[in-house]
């Protein structure tokens, strides 16, 4: 903190690759083709290429031991002792796999949904996409009967996410070490529409569409008495 203001910014560049993203011995992953395990090697499902985190803390310069309004009075009682903090996070999306469900060949693979779609060669993110469509359905097609899809595992980059949160608080000190603390928390101040789920099932009528969102803007007010 310098003159009541402090903060930090961090940037992370990362890349993770594997052929099955379950770690720690939990769960199981079924390959599309057990005779071609090399085709499973791709980006990890938790891969995020870029991530930025920033935070700032501010103490208002009013009240005791501050530059202004340190001698008491009505204005000092109103504005003194307030502090605020904000944090911002931006991260690129995790990868998605276009799957094809319902083929008789899925039985041989041991798990329905392990088959992938075929790539048509058309643009994945063409101009003119209209919400709720996230990527173009025309970029993929059903594989021919008895054949495996040629789409790579985790070949679709998922949606980016960004969120700005803030907190404001103040202590109101009373006699005998008693204190009231007033705190306001505001999450997703800018009310960003962050996509949480994308339908990647080629068999579905909503293939390629946004299905769920992350939390919208919310605010809470807390009042705590310490004695």
Residue 10 covered by a domain: yes
The count of domains in the chain is 1
25 within domain boundaries: no
Answer yes or no: is 118 within a domain. Answer: yes
Rounded distance, CA 218 to CA 186, Å? 6
Structural domain including 178 reads 5-20+30-226
Mean pLDDT of the chain: 87
221 touches 183 (CB < 8 A): yes
For 155, residues 6+ apart whose C-beta sits below 8 A from its C-beta are 42, 95, 96, 97, 98, 119
> Does pTM top 0.85 for this prediction?
no
Q: What is the pLDDT of residues 176-210, one digit of tens each?
A: 888 888 999 999 999 999 999 999 999 889 999 99
> Mind listing the pLDDT tens digit of every residue in the chain (227 residues)?
788 899 999 999 999 999 888 755 555 677 888 888 898 899 999 999 999 999 999 988 877 777 776 677 777 777 777 889 999 999 999 999 999 886 545 545 555 567 889 999 999 999 989 999 999 999 999 988 888 889 999 999 999 999 999 999 988 878 888 888 899 999 999 999 999 999 999 988 999 999 999 999 999 999 999 88
- Residue indicated by tokens 């054949």: 147
Return d(Cα 105, Cα 148) in angstroms, integer. Answer: 9
Check residue 107 and give its pLDDT.
45
Q: Is residue 54 part of a domain?
A: yes
């Amino acid at each position: 903190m310098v003159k009541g203001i402090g903060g930090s910014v961090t940037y992370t560049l990362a890349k993770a690759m594997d052929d099955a993203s379950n770690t720690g011995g939990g769960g199981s992953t079924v390959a599309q083709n057990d005779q071609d395990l090399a085709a499973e090697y791709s980006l990890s499902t938790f891969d995020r290429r870029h991530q930025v985190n920033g935070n700032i803390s501010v103490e208002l310069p009013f009240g005791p031991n501050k530059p202004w309004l340190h001698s008491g009075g009505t204005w000092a009682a109103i504005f003194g002792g307030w502090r605020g903090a904000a944090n911002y996070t931006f991260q690129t999306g995790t990868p998605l796999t276009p799957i094809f469900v319902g083929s008789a060949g899925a039985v041989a693979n041991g798990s329905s949904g392990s088959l992938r779609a075929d790539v048509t060669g058309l643009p994945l993110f063409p101009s003119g996409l209209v919400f709720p469509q996230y990527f173009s359905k025309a970029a993929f097609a059903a594989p021919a009967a008895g054949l495996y899809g040629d789409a790579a595992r985790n070949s679709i980059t998922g949606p980016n996410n960004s969120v700005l949160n803030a907190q404001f608080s103040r202590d109101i000190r009373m006699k005998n070490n008693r204190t009231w603390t007033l705190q306001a928390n505001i999450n997703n101040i800018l009310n960003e529409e962050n996509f949480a789920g994308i339908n990647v099932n080629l068999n579905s009528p909503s293939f390629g569409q946004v299905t769920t969102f992350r939390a919208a803007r919310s605010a809470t007010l807390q009042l705590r008495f310490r004695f």
